[in-house]
Structure 1
Amino acid sequence: MIEMLKNWYARRFSDPQAMGLAAILLFCFIVIYFFSWLLAPLLIAIVLAYLLEMPVKFLTQRIGLPRLLSIMLVLGTFVGITLFIVFVLVPNLVTQTINLFGDLPNMFNGLHDWMLSLPEDYPELVDYQMIGSIFNTGREKILAFGESAVKYSLASLMNLVTIGIYAFLVPLMIFFLIKDKQELMSGFSRFLPRNRTLASKVWKEMELQIANYIRGKLLEILIVGVITYVIFLFFGLRYPLLLSVAVGFSVLVPYIGAVLVTIPVALVAVFQFGISPTFWYLMLAFVISQLLDGNLLVPFLFSEAVNLHPLIIIVAVLIFGGLWGFWGVFFAIPLATLVKAVVNAWPSNEEISVK
């Protein structure tokens, strides 16, 4: 067994380029895994800098504006949009969330009355004991969820100072990341191993894909959220902003997110409209929008940038989401693409022998 491991190590790690790539990947994993809470403002700034680099390049190369002026215009626009979201959309979102929690008892009672009628209509399938057991369990879950929500709200109030610090530091770091990108990359490269040709090859392949993925995913969230909001407004569904935001963010979790977000949409619709033609028309429009997202919008935005099997994507979401939470879910697909690029670029036994 030991001899077999030695042979495998000699085949895969005898190339200095492979060792350099392995060292860089191991170092990045350790830093992000153990110090992500400390580096969170920097990581957020890097993500947003990738997002804003494209409009800066457009203003600089196509319009002919000086790069510093382009950065100031793009960053100012971004800050303005962020302030609009914080002071206009977020209060409405909070209000609709409070209203939804206020209506939950009525929804729960309506569901209880409906389920109590099932033993009369289907006595061979459902009995009153089963209904009582289900509702006792559901009541306990709702109470536990309410306690968790209160604790989370208190924790959020305690983190207002942290949010204030982020609000100041992140735009500042974005400015310097875009303005001094080349100098920062050159300075960072001095701390990397000398044998990094293989790592540079993988990085060049991934840099464009990660940037395109960030822009494409944020654009997908915006488009899906706006279209869903219009559909909900058209049918007069309650809590349209809250539900459309949930639908927009559901695209972060491929396949699974679309299924999960359909549940609250269907529940709110059935309690508001009942099993009526309006309910079915609403659900039909919603399902069509989801199908168009998966079969038209996603291929258009991402093209061949992400060529992964659906099973690999789901496994990547589970693994990286478990490691890094929200950001792990957000970057699950590019991280899986990175793993694929590393595996494809890793020198095989034959390549090492030729060298």
Structure 2
Amino acid sequence: MSELKITDTPFYQKLSYNLITLALLGALLYLGQGILVPLFFSILLATLLLPVTNRLQQWRVPKVISIIVSIIVTLAVVAGILYFLSSQVSNFLEDIDTIKKRLVDLLHKAQEWINATFNISERKQQEYIKETTNNLKDSGAGIVGQTVLTITESLAYVVFIPVYTFLMLFYKDLIKRFLINVFKNGSEEKVRTVLEESRTIGQQYVLGLLTDMVIVFALNTVGFLILGIKYAVFLALVGALMNLIPYIGMLIANVFCMLITMVSSENLSDVLWVAIILAVVQIIDNNLLIPMIVGNKVRINALVTIVGVVVGGALCGIAGMFLAIPGIAVMKVVFDHVDSLKPWGMLLGDEVSDKKKKGKKPIR
């Protein structure tokens, strides 16, 4: 990470080099997502388990056994969460016939309102729905193929992530020495600092998100149960899981929970109350839980966060949305320690908020 003497290079050339590098990295991530995404998840998991394995080794547990035990415990926790999620989904699906009937009644009322308001006859509406249904049937093979591909990728994650995690924890010292030796030209201390800050960010981000998810799930559940909302636990769990995706996830959760409440409740005011509960929990989460639990290490501004989540989703799907924030945070750490890239680190950060807190006027 040595500092290159490029001060005489025109600014537009430096900007072009940076943009080309970002484009190449994006193309590499898109083309190699099947390999890189499990690897990135393994890095996060290895970072999270590193304190556990270190503590076990301090208790004179052999290195291999300490790594295996920590991974097995993690897999058991994940399996428990998946079992709980599947049980809630199963309870929801048991009433799917009732939900379908309710949905048909709501659609009929909606058609009558459209006919009265926009003068579009119910027959024309039926023809449009039938045409849309036929188009969905024509694309059915593609949907099935995509579903099979998704299941295959999930199975690959289940196999590769534990293996990658074990190997990273086992060879962590070797990887660290390699990275330091690559930049063995006066930048060793910067590399150590970047590695340490990146590890801290990874641990703080993942632990913070998991803790935040549990608290949001509990708040959603209590609110829905007090209101007597049907499928309260299931909807609360959906809201908590979608909250892992910044900004966009909560919007999707709001729409989903309101739709399910609309078709499952006789009282339409419940839909409004569900939206209010989710909004209140989101306000508490953004202004109290996230700053307190996640802390100030992951300081990425809202614009970059939204763009990063959207780009991550476009490149790697839902996994890319989840990985976007820790990835951008690590990029900011690197940028902040390279003089020629510090403007990019400033762009990713939340300097406006920091200046407001210090009582200084923001840069205009």
Render the CA deviation track for 1:163-183: whole Å, top value 9, x for unaligned.
Answer: 555434432332332233212
Secondary structure in 2 matching 1:334 = helix
- Pick the aligned partner of 1:218 from 196, 210, 226: 210
* 1:53 alignment partner AA: L
Where do residues 241-256 of structure 1 align in structure 2 (5 Å cutoff)? 241-256=233-248
Q: Aligned-pair RMSD on alpha carbons?
A: 4.3
Q: 1:32 to 1:275 in 2, by over 3 A?
A: same
Secondary structure in 1 matching 2:254 = helix
- Pick the aligned partner of 2:329 from 316, 330, 337: 337
Q: 1:23 to 1:53 in 2, by over 3 A?
A: farther
- Pick the aligned partner of 2:90 from 75, 92, 95: 95
For the Cα contact (< 8 Å) 1:100–1:239, is it kept in 2?
A: no
1:42 and 2:42 matched: no
2:309 corresponds to which residue? 317
Unaligned runs of 5+ in 2: 1-7, 342-364
Unaligned runs of 5+ in 1: 14-18, 350-355
2:277 corresponds to which residue? 285
1:8 corresponds to which residue? 11
For the Cα contact (< 8 Å) 1:246–1:261, is it kept in 2?
A: yes
TM-score by length of 1: 0.72
Where do residues 142-157 of structure 1 align in structure 2 (5 Å cutoff)? 152=143, 155-157=146-148
- Pick the aligned partner of 2:177 from 170, 173, 186: 186
Where do residues 132-151 of structure 1 align in structure 2 (5 Å cutoff)? none
Structure with more contact order per residue of length (Cα contacts < 8 Å, sep ≥ 6) = 1
2:118 corresponds to which residue? 127
1:346 and 2:335 matched: no
For the Cα contact (< 8 Å) 2:257–2:274, is it kept in 1?
A: no
- Pick the aligned partner of 1:176 from 167, 172, 180: 167
Q: 1:179 to 1:213 in 2, by over 3 A?
A: same
Q: 1:232 to 1:146 in 2, by over 3 A?
A: farther
Indicate the percent of aligned positions where both proteins have the same amino acid: 20
Q: 1:139 to 1:104 in 2, by over 3 A?
A: farther
For the Cα contact (< 8 Å) 2:308–2:328, is it kept in 1?
A: yes
1:307 corresponds to which residue? 299
Alpha-carbon distance in structure 2 between the residues aligned to 1:7 and 1:202 = 28
Render the CA deviation track for 1:95-141: whole Å, top value 9, x for unaligned.
Answer: 35645764554243222233245369xx6xx2341877677656665
Question: After alignment, is 274-283 or 262-271 more displaced?
Answer: 274-283
Alpha-carbon distance in structure 2 between the residues aligned to 1:161 and 1:339 = 30
Q: 1:275 to 1:163 in 2, by over 3 A?
A: closer
2:351 corresponds to which residue? none
Secondary structure in 2 matching 1:331 = helix
1:56 and 2:40 matched: no
1:84 and 2:80 matched: yes
Secondary structure in 2 matching 1:325 = helix
TM-score by length of 2: 0.71
* 1:49 alignment partner AA: A
Render the CA deviation track for 1:143-192: whole Å, top value 9, x for unaligned.
Answer: 766876885556545776665554344323323322332123324655x3
> Shift in Å at residue 37 of structure 1?
0.9
Structure 1 residue ranges (4+ consecutive) displaced by more than 6 angstroms after TM superposition: 9-13, 21-28, 130-135, 145-150
1:352 corresponds to which residue? none
Alpha-carbon distance in structure 2 between the residues aligned to 1:308 and 1:186 = 29
